């Protein structure tokens, strides 16, 4: 007898987390696996942020905080929004949660009723459709491929809007593609959504400072659309604080209050010590982040160059985040004489078992012709991993039925 709820039975496990687990299992067996699957950083949290956490412990910040976060942290976030994004959010319009994923879950649970439609450009982050499903919503995909640099147009989105459409959600810089929407592209999107005031926009900006040679803009900075926008951010990616678990939203007050109400029942506040550390991160200059981004840019250039040298691999040049999302359908319908590759999932399994490199199939991101490769690890490991991939892929030949 199945005693688990339909809710959890219908929920898919995160492919990135599942692949990381398989990598750990192989390592435990003595296999030298290079893991290019997770979006975790190989940088340590900057010392001044760690010291703020230590001080918070020594100062006995070990009690419940307000559900929405310390007022002084929300003030720091409000100032950050104004300073860096030209956004005016009062502290009553800000809610601090246990990471960006929690923030997104709060929004979906507060806005989506069963049957509501959520438009999401593919490729999307693996968690988007699962959280939509958990909230009872329906994911409506709008495909974007490498030929458009993985970006969708207002016309493509508008064709999918119905009376049931409740939300459009996207990330820029994007996980998994690294694509970044320009100010002009966002303005055109905003003008289109202004014609559909029943549709909210969830703008996931968690990678805003991990950006190369371009600028990040917030769609909520267009005043005529701001009341339809929920801005998601956090400290995980830009401050190397993935394990501190601090995400936050800026949203119209009634939405923020709804999230606070929901969070009050699910988790209450997030970690008091982490909040104090996040305050130090947000209030300090971005010098450590800029140094980290320089390293990432070098890695990006290296991995793109090496991937372009592999026959059959197509890739764009990511403008942000720390992933590359190459098209690998050239290898569908190939075999090494023992194993046949029919899709990206089988290709990733083949590469894990034979090249001992862990990468994520694009199916999890809504784009089954692609794979996601994270370059959040030292450049020597990146070079070794791509060499392993190249050698392994060279053994695959086309077959004909």
Distance of alpha carbon 202 from alpha carbon 169, whole angstroms: 5
Distance of alpha carbon 168 from alpha carbon 84, whole angstroms: 23
- Token pair recorded at residue 36: 């290019």
DSSP E strand stretches across 16-85:
34-35
On whether the CB atoms of residues 379 and 44 are closer than 8 A, the answer is no
Distance of alpha carbon 15 from alpha carbon 35, whole angstroms: 13
What was the pLDDT predicted at 400?
53
Residue of 263, 283, 270 lying closest to 75 (CA atoms): 283
What was the pLDDT predicted at 296?
97
What does 166-232 look like in DSSP terms, one character per residue? EEEEEESS-TTT-----HHHHHHHHHHHHT-TT-EEEEE-TTTTSBSSS----GGGSGGGGGGEEEE
What was the pLDDT predicted at 266?
96
Distance of alpha carbon 61 from alpha carbon 53, whole angstroms: 9
Given a cut of 50, the residues of the chain with pLDDT beneath it are 401
What was the pLDDT predicted at 161?
98
What was the pLDDT predicted at 11?
87
Lookup result for tokens 């029942």: 265
On whether the CB atoms of residues 14 and 215 are closer than 8 A, the answer is no
H helix runs in 59-91, sequence order:
71-85
Distance of alpha carbon 358 from alpha carbon 35, whole angstroms: 5
What was the pLDDT predicted at 240?
96
What was the pLDDT predicted at 22?
79
Class of domain 61-284: alpha beta
H helix runs in 309-357, sequence order:
344-354
Cα 218-220-223 angle, rounded to 5 deg: 130
What was the pLDDT predicted at 167?
98
What was the pLDDT predicted at 30?
83
CATH number of the 6-44+288-395 domain = 3.90.1150.10
pLDDT digits (tens, 9 = 90+) for 16-34: 777 777 777 877 888 889 9
3-state helix, strand, coil in the chain (%, to 5): 45, 15, 40
Sorted by where each begins, the domain ranges of the chain are 6-44+288-395, 61-284
């Amino acid at each position: 007898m199945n005693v688990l709820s339909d809710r959890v039975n219908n929920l898919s496990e995160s492919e990135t987390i599942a692949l990381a687990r398989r990598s750990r299992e192989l390592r435990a067996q003595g296999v030298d696996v290079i893991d290019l699957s997770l979006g975790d950083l190989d940088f340590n949290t900057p010392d001044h942020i760690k010291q703020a956490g230590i001080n918070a412990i020594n100062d006995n910040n070990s009690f419940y905080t307000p559900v929405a976060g310390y007022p002084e942290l929300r003030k720091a976030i409000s100032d950050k929004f104004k300073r860096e994004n030209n956004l005016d959010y009062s502290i009553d319009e800000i809610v601090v949660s246990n990471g960006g994923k929690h923030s997104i879950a709060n929004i979906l649970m507060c806005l989506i009723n069963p049957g509501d439609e959520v438009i999401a450009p593919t490729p999307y982050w693996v968690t988007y459709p699962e959280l939509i499903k958990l909230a009872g919503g329906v994911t409506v995909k709008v495909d974007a491929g490498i030929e458009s640099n993985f970006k969708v147009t207002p016309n493509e989105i508008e064709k999918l809007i119905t009376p049931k459409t409740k939300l459009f959600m996207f990330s820029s810089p994007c996980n998994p593609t690294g694509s970044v929407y320009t100010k002009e592209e966002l303005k055109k999107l905003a003008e289109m959504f202004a014609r559909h005031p029943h549709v909210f926009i969830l703008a996931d900006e968690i990678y805003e400072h991990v950006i190369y040679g371009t600028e990040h803009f917030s769609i909520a900075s267009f005043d005529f659309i701001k009341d339809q926008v929920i801005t998601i951010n956090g400290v995980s990616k830009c401050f190397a604080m993935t394990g501190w678990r601090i995400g936050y939203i800026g949203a119209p007050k009634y939405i923020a209050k709804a999230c606070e109400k929901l969070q009050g029942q699910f988790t209450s506040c997030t970690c008091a010590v982490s909040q104090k550390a996040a305050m130090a991160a947000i209030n300090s200059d971005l010098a450590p982040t800029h140094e980290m981004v320089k390293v990432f840019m070098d890695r990006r250039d290296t991995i793109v160059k090496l991937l372009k040298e592999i026959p059959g691999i197509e890739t764009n040049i990511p403008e942000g985040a720390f992933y590359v999302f190459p098209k690998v359908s050239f290898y569908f319908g190939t075999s090494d004489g023992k194993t046949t590759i029919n899709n990206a999932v089988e290709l990733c399994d083949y590469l894990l078992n034979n090249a001992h490199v862990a990468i994520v199939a694009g199916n999890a991101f809504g784009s089954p012709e692609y794979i996601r490769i994270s370059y959040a690890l030292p450049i020597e490991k990146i070079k070794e991993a791509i060499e392993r991939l190249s050698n392994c892929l060279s053994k695959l030949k086309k077959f004909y039925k």
